[in-house]
Amino acid sequence: MWQRRRAKSTAWLAGAVALALTFAIACGSDTEPVPTPEPTATPVVSLPSLDLDAGASPSAPLTNGPAVSEGPVSKAELAAVFSLSDLVDRVKPTVASIAVESVRRGLFFDFSDEGAGTGIVVRPDGYIVTNTHVIQSANEIKVTLPSGISYDARVVGRDRVTDLSVLKIDDQDLPFATFGNSDGLRVGDWVVAAGNALALRGGPTVTLGIVSGKGRSIVTEIGELYDLIQTDAAINQGNSGGPLVNLEGEVVGINTVIVREAQGLGFAISSSTAKPIIDSLIEHGRVVRPLIGVAGQDVTPAIASQLNLHVTDGAIITRISPDGPAYKAGLRAGDVIVSIDGISTPDMATFLRLLWSYKVGDMVQMEYISNNGTRVASVELVERPPET
């Protein structure tokens, strides 16, 4: 009896050690510092790449934890659990390299600048999405697919509010990306980033990380961006406009920006925000977006304490147009918008996504806090002026 218990205990211990070794291989701590990005770049920080043989799809094991049998774990078993090669093979054909050339005017001479970025093929007839800041000053845009074929591209439409633009190349039957539901992401989920990092030859660079946060809002050189996914998957110079995908190979974000002073702080435009923008740019060449004439930011505990507010979340109005619908309806700077048509708006990202779901001309009931009193105003939405 004692020998059987000892054998069972030994087998259990071996399995535990194997599982620990497996976890150590998958979650090593070596990281690389983030290089300073150029204007057309968007770095983040990576987890180590996994040097394992190709194997089966990792979606279930990575989500629920690897199933490790008793006894030593072979390299082939580890590869079957952790390899992302099948996923990468599905994603890579949809990732385009973008090269741009612009001209700077000098006092006596003109100077040619070159930059690099990334795009995602979103339709089989040659529509490609990228970041607006990648192509905003370009006189010439070249798109190269992983097949090695290069194309001249034209701009179909651009949206500075979300930093998204759509390009068009002349080809048909192209592999194209599938968009997933970013609302279903959870902090800690695995994600993979792909892009034209450092404009290296040989196709897209692929890195692995996790979702570090959701619904982020940040202020950048191109303006304030909302509803961003925070990730630590390495994104380097040239990655702007590339896909952030889940373990099903679905695009859940479009890589956009990093924080230069920090490591592991990269941000991607969520697919739930990006998809309707992309569709509108393709169909209309612009985004038809309602407007109420305010600018704002998230209410934080610090802001609530400083302004002696009785609420700790909402969208506080920092600027308001005296000619806008909100001002005419009675709202003022310092008021906190807490809901639209009874739907809570705990932050600016939620507020804008909800606002942009309406059509121009719609009348909405806006609940807001003014002088710590709750009020409701009827606001008629007008059309946001087209971007120039």
Region 69-77: mean pLDDT is 60
- Under 8 Å CB-to-CB from 246, ≥6 apart: which residues? 180, 185, 189, 190, 191, 192, 252
More confident residue, 60 or 211: 211
Condensed to tens digits (0 to 9), the pLDDT of residues 259-273 reads: 666 677 889 999 999
Condensed to tens digits (0 to 9), the pLDDT of residues 284-324 reads: 899 888 989 999 989 988 999 988 898 989 999 999 999 99
Condensed to tens digits (0 to 9), the pLDDT of residues 337-362 reads: 999 999 999 988 889 889 988 999 99
CA distance 48 to 28: 7
CA distances from 202 to 115, 153, 308, 358 (A): 18, 21, 57, 44
- The catalytic position among 163, 298, 313, 335 is 163
| pLDDT band, very low/low/confident/very high, at 101 (cuts 50, 70, 90) | confident
Say which CATH architecture domain 290-383 belongs to.
Answer: Roll (2.30)
More confident residue, 32 or 150: 150
Range in 65-79, 158-172, 241-255 with the lowest mean pLDDT:
65-79
CATH 2.40.10.120, the chain: domain bounds: 34-66+75-81+88-287
- The catalytic position among 46, 83, 212, 240 is 240
- The catalytic position among 97, 133, 212, 339 is 133
CATH number of 34-66+75-81+88-287: 2.40.10.120
More confident residue, 115 or 306: 306
Q: Tell me the pTM.
A: 0.69
Residue 310 among the catalytic residues: no
- What pLDDT score does 203 carry? 72
Apex 28 CA angle, 25 and 190, nearest 5: 85
Range in 62-71, 186-195, 261-270 with the lowest mean pLDDT:
62-71
Q: In what helix (H) or strand (E) does residue 246 lie, and over which residues does it extend? A: none
Residue 133 among the catalytic residues: yes
| pLDDT band, very low/low/confident/very high, at 85 (cuts 50, 70, 90) | confident
CATH 2.30.42.10, the chain: domain bounds: 290-383
Using DSSP's 3-state secondary structure scheme, residue 260 falls into coil
Residue 240 among the catalytic residues: yes
| pLDDT band, very low/low/confident/very high, at 282 (cuts 50, 70, 90) | very high
